[in-house]
């Protein structure tokens, strides 16, 4: 049996007296869309930051294909797109995408595909600080899609998008997964998570309270036919 | 993962720099300050040269280095102190402020590449600001003014290094602080701290005086005297580099704070030791046309041949003007010339100026080869005579090298002042518009 693509073991993180993550463990399988769900303040962003190595964990390890992955090497295999970032406000969309393409060295036309998939053509000459929240979200997703890492950690990828855009972005993400990329998404809208994710990790109070497919979680929660909301409420 | 194309990092930082209004305002303010300094110095120089109809100064006293170059480019000291830190902080803090630091931390290659790209972009920006000074010198030359290239480049190098030091300080302040405002306060506090060190050193001497040699103002004065001193250049480079190293270490937020603090302390300690070592590097070149930092060629030849150590013990307080005369007119030149010179500042307390007679105050002792001689004079020929006597060598024949002629210019330069600033203002505004001009397409509604 092959090792999971990414294994997270016992990650813990405190902010002073506040325990943001407590012994968090979960696995990310190759080519899947894994959803990280939980209420506000449950530690989703902290977990992503620790896994990406941009925030030090107090304890815990991350394994890549069975081998320990030091924080400074995590960027070699995964790219984390933070929530709430408004990068380089004075730059234009086209320049920002070109920069990411140039700095990561993209010979395969990922930038053009991202522009087409996320319908960014009309925004290319706009400065980032003139974009609406939804427009900026699509541009940030495009930045992530331009990167070459096999695993993407996207923090709230649907935040700020309208219904149609959410559906379109889900299609884009599914296509990305089909193309061989593994996606780990932090989503606070449970309905969205249920629609796009293959498996789910439920986080509450900095602890994992469940991991698996919706059916597995239903079984664990003892809910026969309920939606993810009911499963989540039963487990937390 | 592959190494990043570093040219892209530099292009991004140049983009960010030119996107910043602070940078363009710095350019405009620089133009105004240089224009004001240039106009003032031109007027004074012309009057001293007899333009006002009054008595002209002696031609030998009319030196473009002191009269035009130093005061005109002196505007950059003000810019480096009060304006440049804000531009530096903006460029180093932008990712922290906008939440984009995690993205930058995940770019391929080393994070230090990002910091180096920011520093290079800022140096390019600083050199662009230097074009205002270059324009002033061109106007001066066009009006018939004299320029000695070596001393001009020396002063320009001093301002370039001054800018690099500010970049280092601003980078460290931006990295350590949670916000740009806090970083600005920190950078300003550092500057005020160096002024305090200067002030204390002027009154106390000793360790403070040694330390104060490398405050930005004091270090700049070395270049403004037309002296290219290896120790000063190296220490300024190391101090600026120390700021960049501190920023590199501290902005890697994926590393635990105690580990970052330990790494920063070790790096600063190593660089501090290197700076202390560089302070001992005595190589220096006098680039001034009037050789103000050197003895006459014949004297230098004889002094260089004296291999025994010379010990000078000065019973003069730090704020005593006689010590300043001795330092500038004799000791600095001796350090540049003789292979082994040791200076003991025996009266470091200011109260000794008012001490009772009999405590040696005012005496300067010269010791060489086991023989000692005391002088109260700080005049170069008298001191040299004593050194030759102690060394048992004959004084060289009087130099027949031509004396510095001086370069009076009694006419004011047309085109200086307001037109100068207007030209700079237009150049900067046009460049700003060309770089940041709006594109035709507008963002579609989300």
- pLDDT one-digit tens code per residue, B341-396: 999 888 755 555 555 555 788 889 999 988 999 999 889 999 999 999 999 998 88
- Indicate the residue of B15, B16, B443 with minimum beta-carbon distance to A130: B443
Residue A154 CA to residue A169 CA, distance in Å, equals: 12
State how far residue A106 is from chain B, nearest Cα, in angstroms: 11
For residue B199, the model assigns a pLDDT of 83
Find where tokens 């130099």 sit.
B399
- CB distance B15–A91 less than 8 Å? yes
- Indicate the residue of B20, B108, B254 with minimum beta-carbon distance to A53: B254
Alpha helices in B251-360 (DSSP H): 257-279, 297-305, 321-326, 332-337
For residue B88, the model assigns a pLDDT of 97
Interface test with A, best of B102, B109, B111, B251 (most A CBs within 10 A): B102
For residue B143, the model assigns a pLDDT of 85
Which whole number is the average pLDDT over B262-271?
95
For residue B69, the model assigns a pLDDT of 96
Q: How far is CA B228 from CA B71, B140, B241, in A?
A: 19, 24, 20
Residue B394 CA to residue B298 CA, distance in Å, equals: 11
- CB distance A135–B446 less than 8 Å? yes
Does an H or E element contain B348, and which? none
Residue B316 CA to residue B196 CA, distance in Å, equals: 22
Q: What is the largest CA-CA distance in chain A?
A: 52
- CB distance A103–B99 less than 8 Å? no
Which whole number is the average pLDDT over B99-113?
94
For residue B280, the model assigns a pLDDT of 80
For residue B1, the model assigns a pLDDT of 54
Q: What is the pLDDT of residues A222-234, one digit of tens each?
A: 887 778 888 888 8
Q: What is the pLDDT of residues A106-128, one digit of tens each?
A: 777 899 999 999 999 999 999 99
**pLDDT beyond 80 at B223:** yes
- Indicate the residue of A54, A75, A122 with minimum beta-carbon distance to B444: A122
- Cα R_g (chain B), whole angstroms: 25
For residue B47, the model assigns a pLDDT of 86
Show which residues on chain B lie within 8 Å of chain A, measured between beta carbons. Answer: 1-2, 4-5, 8-9, 11-12, 15-16, 19-20, 94-95, 98-103, 105-108, 253-257, 436, 439-446
Q: At what angle do helices B149-176 and B75-82 cross, to 10 degrees?
A: 10
A52: left (phi over 0), alpha (psi -120 to 50) or beta: alpha
- Summary mean pLDDT of chain B: 88
Which whole number is the average pLDDT over B70-79?
96
State which residue of chain A sits closest to B446, comparing Cα positions. Answer: A135
Q: Positive or negative CA dihedral for B144, B150, B151, B153?
A: positive
Residue B445 CA to residue B78 CA, distance in Å, equals: 46
The phi and psi torsions of A25 (rounded to 5 degrees) equal -135, 140
For residue A224, the model assigns a pLDDT of 78
The phi and psi torsions of A6 (rounded to 5 degrees) equal -140, 130
Tokens of A147: 């990167």
Q: How far is CA A184 from CA A27, A38, A197, in A?
A: 10, 14, 9
pLDDT band for B423, please (50, 70, 90 cuts).
Answer: confident
- How far from chain centre, in Å, is Cα B440? 45
For residue B2, the model assigns a pLDDT of 55
pLDDT band for A105, please (50, 70, 90 cuts).
Answer: confident
For residue B444, the model assigns a pLDDT of 46
Q: Are B44 and B410 in contact (CB under 8 A)?
A: no
Q: Positive or negative CA dihedral for A59, A62, A66, A72?
A: negative
**DSSP-assigned beta bridge partners for residue B284:** B229
B-chain residues near A144 (CB < 8 A)? none
Q: How far is CA B160 from CA B118, B166, B223, B288, B350, in A?
A: 16, 10, 11, 18, 35
Tokens of A223: 């809910």
Which whole number is the average pLDDT over B276-299?
89
Q: Positive or negative CA dihedral for B363, B366, B372, B374?
A: negative
- Indicate the residue of B19, B103, B107 with minimum beta-carbon distance to A85: B103
State pTM to two decimals. 0.89
- Spell out the residues 6+ positions from residue A155 whose beta carbon is closer than 8 angstroms to its own: A44, A45, A48, A80, A81, A82, A83, A186
- CB distance A132–B102 less than 8 Å? no
3-state secondary structure of B310: strand
Q: In what order do the strands lie in the sheet with B341-345?
A: B341-345, B310-314, B364-368, B371-375
Q: What is the pLDDT of residues B158-208, one digit of tens each?
A: 999 999 999 999 999 999 998 999 999 999 999 999 988 888 877 766 667
- CB distance B8–A103 less than 8 Å? yes
Residue B62 CA to residue A115 CA, distance in Å, equals: 65
For residue A1, the model assigns a pLDDT of 55
Does an H or E element contain B434, and which? helix B418-436
Question: Where, residue-wise, is CATH 3.40.30.10 in chain B?
Answer: 297-391
Q: What is the pLDDT of residues B22-61, one digit of tens each?
A: 999 999 999 999 999 999 999 889 888 887 666 656 767 7
Which whole number is the average pLDDT over B293-315?
91
For residue B38, the model assigns a pLDDT of 92
Q: What is the pLDDT of residues A171-215, one digit of tens each?
A: 999 999 999 999 999 998 898 999 999 999 999 999 999 999 999
**DSSP-assigned beta bridge partners for residue B366:** B312, B373
The phi and psi torsions of A8 (rounded to 5 degrees) equal -110, 125
- CB distance A56–B446 less than 8 Å? no
3-state secondary structure of B160: helix
**Which DSSP string do the residues of chain A spell out, in sequence order?**
-PPPSEEEEEEEEEETTEEEEEEEEEEE-TT-EEEEE--TTSSHHHHHHHHHTSS--SEEEEEETTEE--GGGGGGTEEEE-TT----TTSBHHHHHHHHHHHHT--S-HHHHHHHHTT-GGGTTSBGGGS-HHHHHHHHHHHHHHS--SEEEEESTTTT--HHHHHHHHHHHHHHHHTT-EEEEEES-HHHHHHH-SEEEEEETTEEEEEE-HHHHHHHHT-SS--HHHHHHHH-
A-chain residues near B98 (CB < 8 A)? 85-89
Q: Are A165 and A138 in contact (CB under 8 A)?
A: yes
- CB distance B100–A54 less than 8 Å? no
- CB distance A86–B1 less than 8 Å? no
For residue B438, the model assigns a pLDDT of 64
Which whole number is the average pLDDT over A8-30?
95
**pLDDT beyond 70 at B445:** no
CATH code of the domain made up of B297-391: 3.40.30.10
- CB distance A71–B439 less than 8 Å? no
Pairing of strands B364-368, B310-314: antiparallel
Which positions 141-170 of A are in contact with B (Cβ < 8 Å)?
Answer: 143, 148-149, 162, 165
State how far residue B421 is from chain A, nearest Cα, in angstroms: 28
For residue B182, the model assigns a pLDDT of 94
For residue B405, the model assigns a pLDDT of 86
Strands (E), B18-127: none
B-chain residues near A49 (CB < 8 A)? 102
Query: ipTM greater than 0.85, yes or no?
Result: yes
B-chain residues near A88 (CB < 8 A)? 12, 16, 19, 94, 98, 100
State which residue of chain A sits closest to B17, comparing Cα positions. Answer: A90
Q: How far is CA A101 from CA A110, A136, B347, B392, in A?
A: 8, 18, 65, 74
């Amino acid at each position: 049996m092959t090792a999971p693509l990414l294994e997270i073991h016992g990650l813990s993180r405190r902010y002073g007296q506040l325990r943001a993550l407590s012994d968090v463990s979960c696995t990310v399988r190759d080519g899947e869309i894994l959803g990280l769900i939980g209420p506000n303040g449950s530690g989703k962003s902290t977990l992503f930051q620790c896994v990406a190595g941009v925030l030090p964990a107090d304890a815990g390890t991350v394994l890549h294909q069975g081998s320990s992955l030091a924080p400074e090497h995590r960027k070699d295999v995964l790219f984390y797109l933070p929530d709430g970032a408004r990068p380089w406000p004075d730059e234009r969309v086209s320049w920002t995408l070109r920069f990411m393409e140039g700095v990561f060295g993209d010979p395969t036309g990922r930038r053009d595909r991202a522009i087409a998939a996320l319908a960014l053509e009309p925004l290319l000459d706009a400065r980032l600080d003139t974009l609406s929240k939804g427009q900026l979200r699509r541009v940030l997703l495009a930045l992530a899609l331009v990167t070459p890492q096999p695993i993407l950690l996207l923090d709230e990828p649907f935040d700020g998008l309208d219904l149609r855009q959410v559906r379109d972005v889900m299609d884009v993400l599914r296509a990305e997964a089909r193309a061989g990329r593994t996606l780990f998404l932090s989503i606070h809208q449970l309905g969205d998570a249920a629609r796009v994710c293959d498996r789910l990790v439920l986080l509450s109070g900095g602890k994992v309270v469940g991991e698996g497919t919706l059916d597995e979680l239903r079984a664990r929660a003892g809910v026969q036919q309920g939606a993810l909301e009911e499963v989540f409420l039963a487990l937390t | 993962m592959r190494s990043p194309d570093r040219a892209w990092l530099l292009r991004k930082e140049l983009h960010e720099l030119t996107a910043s209004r602070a940078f363009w305002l710095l350019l405009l303010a620089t133009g105004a300050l240089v224009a004001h300094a240039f106009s003032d110095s031109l007027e004074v120089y012309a009057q001293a040269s007899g333009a006002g109809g009054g008595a002209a100064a002696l031609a030998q006293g009319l030196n473009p280095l002191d009269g035009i170059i130093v005061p005109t480019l002196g505007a950059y000291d003000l810019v480096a102190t009060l304006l440049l830190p804000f531009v530096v902080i903006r460029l180093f803090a932008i990712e922290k402020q906008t939440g984009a630091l995690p993205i930058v931390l995940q770019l391929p290659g080393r994070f230090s590449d990002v910091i180096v790209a920011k520093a290079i972009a800022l140096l390019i920006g600083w050199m662009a600001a230097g074009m205002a000074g270059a324009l002033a010198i061109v106007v001066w030359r066009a009006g018939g003014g004299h320029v000695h290239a070596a001393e001009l480049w020396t002063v320009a190098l001093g301002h370039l290094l001054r800018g690099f030091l500010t970049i280092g300080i601003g980078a460290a302040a931006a990295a350590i602080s949670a916000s740009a405002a806090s970083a600005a306060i920190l950078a300003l506090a550092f500057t005020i701290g160096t002024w305090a060190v200067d002030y204390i050193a002027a009154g106390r001497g000793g360790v403070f005086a040694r330390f104060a040699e490398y405050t930005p103002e004091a270090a700049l004065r070395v270049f403004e005297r037309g002296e290219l001193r290896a120790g000063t250049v190296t220490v300024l480079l190391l101090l600026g580099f120390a700021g960049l190293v501190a920023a590199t270490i501290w902005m890697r937020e994926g590393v635990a704070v105690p580990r970052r603090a330990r790494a920063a302390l070790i790096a600063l300690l190593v660089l501090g030791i290197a700076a202390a070592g560089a302070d001992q590097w005595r190589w220096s070149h006098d680039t001034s046309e009037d050789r103000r930092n050197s003895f006459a060629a014949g004297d230098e030849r004889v002094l260089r041949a004296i291999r025994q150590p010379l010990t000078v013990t000065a019973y003069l307080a730090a704020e005593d003007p006689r010590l300043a005369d001795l330092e500038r007119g004799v000791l600095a030149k001796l350090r540049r010339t003789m292979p082994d010179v040791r200076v003991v500042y025996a009266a470091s307390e200011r109260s000794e100026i008012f001490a009772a007679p009999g405590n040696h105050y005012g005496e300067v002792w010269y010791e060489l080869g086991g023989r000692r001689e005391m002088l109260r004079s700080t005049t170069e020929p008298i001191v040299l005579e004593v050194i030759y006597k102690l060394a048992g060598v004959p004084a060289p024949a009087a130099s027949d090298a031509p004396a510095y002629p001086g370069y009076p210019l009694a006419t004011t330069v047309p085109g200086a002042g307001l037109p100068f600033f207007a030209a700079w203002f237009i150049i900067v505004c046009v460049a700003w518009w060309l770089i940041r001009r709006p594109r035709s397409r507008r963002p579609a509604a989300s």
